[in-house]
Amino acid sequence: MQTALAVKKLRSEVAGPFDLNLGAGACAAITGPSGSGKSLFLRMVADLDPNEGKVWLNGTERASITAPEWRRKVTYVSAESGWWADTVIEHFARNKRSEVAGLAARLGLHADLLDASIARLSTGEKQRLALVRALLQCPPVLLLDEPTGPLDEESVTKVEALLRERMATGISVLLVTHDANQAERLGDQRYRMAAGQLEAP
């Protein structure tokens, strides 16, 4: 399997070094207790937090491209999504509305939500819409931090089905989850984070 994302000796002052190879269309699932460094690791891969070491995407070293370009290709979806405008639709290009509505429907969200105020959304609705926002960019790699944490079982099933579909097209997923069963279902590779170190279970 071709390596999509390669991480070598990635470290910060409090975590690492990390080494990881993720194949195209594969999922690496990371579990572990809160505060062990899982989210920090994703943010380091996305180059959002200070770090040293090297990361490659399909053979291109992260240091050779701009940070915004890197994050468009290696897209991080945090556990608490950020919203900067008043309504949902303002966060999407107008010409993408039908595409947004289609993806939202796949995740159990009604099209009416696109015109809703961000303030009236539940945590789970925000989380799924943040995933829609990321998927619209069609990045080669998705870094997902607890993408189904606040969701009910039916919604979790829908998110996982959509992720599997995208992985079948070659998108790779680096997934942080507290759900060991989810890690088992989605993870081609599984790791446990403990005290800032990645361990194979």
Complete domains list, the chain, with CATH? 3-199 (3.40.50.300)
Quick count: other Cβ atoms within 10 Å of Cβ 33?
12
Six-digit token pair at 72?
A: 């468009």
pLDDT in tens, 124-145: 999 999 999 999 999 999 999 9
E strands in 101-170 = 141-145
For the stretch 150-170, pLDDT in tens is 899 999 999 999 999 999 999
Q: Is 141 helix (H, G, I), strand (E, B) or coil?
A: strand
Distances (CA, A) of 192 to 106, 157, 179: 30, 23, 12
pLDDT band at 84 (very low <50, low <70, confident <90, very high): very high
Determine if the peptide bond prior to 139 is cis (ω within 30°).
no
